[in-house]
């Protein structure tokens, strides 16, 4: 069952994230995040540790609306929604997608993950693809996009199609990890 939790503050969002495994967490647990590892995820769940925000992360959040507009310019067929929600499936699987995509007035059927980076490297593409796969699993959707702004001007859009085998491995990894926390 999918639960929607409205995000009303950064503090509430951080508290909710401690209660499950999100997209950034699964990328770290699967060993594909250049920013975090399984120990960081463990500390975040047990101690409330947050990876310190870098200047690039802070600026990335501030220019996210611009990147979204550029994505919409490249893919005008989509209506872009900022959900401001945390989605929770089966008690521990969490998703906080940057945006949801719709065609016309239909219900959301795709994920949009936004990235800002100096270099759009293979490891960053892989990490973002894992995040999107996780969000596809949690929300029960079939596809999504990663949209990355490199060096402040070069836009990359990467379509992501749901991969059931990868999702199964991620779900198993998350379950085993979560059981170690009990």
Distance between CA atoms of 17 and 11, rounded to whole angstroms?
A: 10
Residue reference for tokens 């509430």:
12
Section 78-96 average pLDDT: 95
Is residue 177 over pLDDT 90?
Answer: yes
Percent of the chain with pLDDT over 70: 100
Q: Residue 60's pLDDT is what?
A: 84
Q: Which CATH architecture has domain 2-181?
A: Alpha-Beta Complex (3.90)
CA-CA-CA-CA dihedral for 18, 24, 30, 33, to nearest 10: -130
Selected residue with higher pLDDT from 111 and 17: 111
């Amino acid at each position: 069952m999918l639960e929607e939790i409205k995000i009303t503050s950064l503090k509430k969002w951080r508290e909710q994230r401690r209660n499950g495994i999100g997209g950034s967490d699964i990328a770290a647990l699967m060993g594909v995040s250049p920013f975090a590892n399984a120990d960081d995820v463990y500390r975040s769940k047990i101690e409330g540790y947050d990876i310190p925000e870098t200047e690039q992360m802070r600026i990335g959040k501030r220019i996210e609306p611009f990147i979204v507009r550029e994505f919409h310019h490249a893919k005008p067929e989509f209506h872009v929604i900022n959900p401001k929600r945390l989605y929770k499936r089966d008690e521990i699987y969490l998703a906080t997608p940057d945006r949801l995509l719709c065609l016309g007035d239909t219900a959301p059927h795709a994920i949009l993950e936004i990235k800002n980076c100096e270099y759009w490297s293979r490891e960053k593409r892989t990490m973002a693809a894992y995040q999107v796969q996780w969000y596809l699993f949690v929300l029960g959707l079939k596809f999504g996009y990663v949209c990355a702004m490199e060096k402040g001007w070069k836009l990359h859009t990467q379509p992501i199609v749901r991969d059931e085998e990868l999702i199964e491995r991620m779900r198993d990894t998350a379950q085993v990890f979560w059981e170690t926390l009990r």
